[in-house]
Chains A and B, each alone.
Chain A
Amino acid sequence: LVSSFVNRARQLQLRQNYRKLIDETQLNKEELVKPDSNGLMENIAKAHQLFKDVNETRGAALDSKFMTLAVTLGAQKTNLLQTDLVAFQPDEFIAKLVTCMGGTVSEDKDEIDIPENGWNVLGQKTATYFTSLTPALHPLLGAFEAIETGKTNRQATQRNKQKETSTKVQLPKELTNYKDDKKEATPEEIERVLHIINTFYKDDPASPIDYFELVVNPESYGHTIENIFHLAFLVKDGLVKIFLNENGLPVVEPVNVRPDDISPRKKVQVIVSLSMDEWYAIIDAYQLKDSLIKILF
């Protein structure tokens, strides 16, 4: 009698444990089906332990219930394993983006550090995944007349009509002005720059000329840019070469001054830009007072 009472209590406990296990498994099923989780196996082991002491039908029925659940989840888990499926986790995706941008995340995930250029980098990397990127028009003088009121439009068309009749007279005038303005970009100007470079190099054959000392005109930003422009032509035509000296500074040297220099000409394309701030900085750093390439006019 005593043992049957003890047994009934034991069986009750087992059934309670089974119900708890089933509920737990149901609740955590998303976690349990993940390929890297051992939870399901652990729960099955727990059920196995419980079953050892079961000796009545109700307990056995609960065990069956659990096993049915476990088998269903097991099947789902297998499915995920077989196709090498990866579940998309937003947090994981975001973390990888941070790395992609060259950023870092602290251990406790509290500090996210994305470099200044990070978003620009991401934008460039993702540009190819857009099937359509459209450039927009940015008129130099702003949006055109058609967006203004109709009044201006009609005035503009009237003006245009008047212009049409006098174009013939205007054309020749424009052409002659154009020729004069072209002086700076003519081959003559470029030759002059070459001549200046050769003269300076002759004075001091061992040392190439510093690039910035050569092109910067401390009195005119515009002329500095023109010098860069002319120098670019000389490099393009292989008359002059630019390279970095042992201090990492760009220097200029005429080509073919050294008879023993038979090294093949390497063509490298570089884009040079100089903002006005940078121009000021160079004048300051080099303490430039005068320009090597004098303005003609």
Chain B
Amino acid sequence: MSSSQRNFDKAEIDRKVNDVVHLMLIWEQRKIPIKRADINKHVLKEYRHAFNDVMKITDKKLQKVFGLKLLEIGEGGKRAYILVNMLEHSETQQMMNWNDNPKRGLLFTVLSLIFMSGNSMTDGTFWNALKGLGIEKDKPHPEFGDVKKLITQEFVRQWYLEIVKLPNCDPPQYEYKWGLRAYHETSKMKILEFVTSLYDKSSVMVWKSQYQDALEEQRKTI
């Protein structure tokens, strides 16, 4: 790479930044975390050496214009970026007619089940519980279609869930846990608040162990 190319053409960088902003907003449609390699391939190309600078400005623009923050999650080979809403949400968020409400309802149910059951559930217990909602692992669902695919593939690819194979189990058993993205889009305390209101209990503290767990998480993030 010649030195003249390395003199970052500011106009070109700005163009790249705008393209990355667009890319991230469109990528958000699938909710799959975007990797550095994706950004380089689709937008930066010969400017990939300017990645860090571009991302810094991209983050600023996303925050200033859209109120969205760029967040890097994961480590090593599994590092990727997601968008997180910076704004304080109010009742308007509940009023808005989001397209994927049903999926979000299912996701929230799943995350709640897992957290309240001690942060992990075996696949047997998990699917058994969902039966009570009319969801059968291998039957097509009127609302969600292939629920098994939705939960074990889509939610996992979106980093909402993590499914781990348990060692030394025959027949194979799996453990369902929260994915990295889940920790950034909701919190254990929020789940507790929901469950508490659903059960019409007076305080989140009645869930003794889960409350301690949620408190621990709060302390870590602050």
Contacts and interface: CB of A to CB of B under 8 A. Distances in A.
Do A and B belong to a common assembly? yes
Interface in A84-101: 84-86, 88, 90-91, 93-98, 100-101
Interface stretch (A125-133, A172-180, A182-190): A125-133
Nearest to A138: B29
B68 A93 contact: no
Given A90-B113, A129-B186, A136-B29, A120 B198 contact: no
Contacts of B187: 131
Contacts of B161: none
A135 B199 CA distance: 30
Contacts of B125: 90
Nearest to B108: A126
A83 B209 CA distance: 12
Interface size class of B (residues with CB under 8 A): 35 or more
A133 B134 CA distance: 27
Interface string B113-138: 10011000000010011101110000
A127 B94 CA distance: 6
A245 to B, nearest CB: 29
Interface string B82-102: 011100010101101010111
Interface stretch (A20-28, A50-58, A144-152): A144-152
A118 to B, nearest CB: 8
A41 interface: no
A100 B198 CA distance: 8
B206 A84 contact: yes
A83 B212 CA distance: 14
Contact of A131 (B45, B190, B198, B207): B190
Dominant SS at the B interface? helix
Given A114-B133, A129-B186, A123 B26 contact: no
A158 B106 CA distance: 48
A139 interface: yes
B194 A147 contact: no
A6 interface: no
A120 B105 contact: yes
A85 B22 CA distance: 49
Contacts of B102: 119-120, 122-123
Nearest to A128: B94
B26 A83 contact: no
Contact of B22 (A109, A125, A137): A137
Interface string B148-185: 00000000000000000000000000000000000011
A98 B133 contact: yes
Contact of A126 (B29, B42, B105, B144): B105
A236 to B, nearest CB: 21
Contact of A127 (B98, B106, B117): B98
Give the 10 A-B residue pairs with the shortest CB-CB distance, closest first.
Answer: A123-B101, A122-B105, A119-B102, A123-B105, A94-B132, A137-B25, A136-B28, A90-B129, A126-B108, A132-B85
21 contacts: A85-B207, A86-B199, A88-B116, A93-B112, A94-B113, A94-B129, A94-B130, A97-B198, A119-B101, A119-B106, A122-B102, A123-B100, A128-B93, A131-B85, A131-B89, A132-B84, A133-B85, A133-B93, A136-B29, A137-B22, A143-B26
Interface of A: 83-86, 88, 90-91, 93-98, 100-101, 105, 109, 112-114, 119-139, 143-144, 146-147, 150
Interface of B: 19, 22-23, 25-26, 28-29, 31, 42-43, 45, 68, 83-85, 89, 91, 93-94, 96, 98, 100-106, 108-109, 112-113, 116-117, 125, 128-130, 132-134, 143-144, 184-187, 190-191, 193-195, 198-199, 201, 205-208, 210
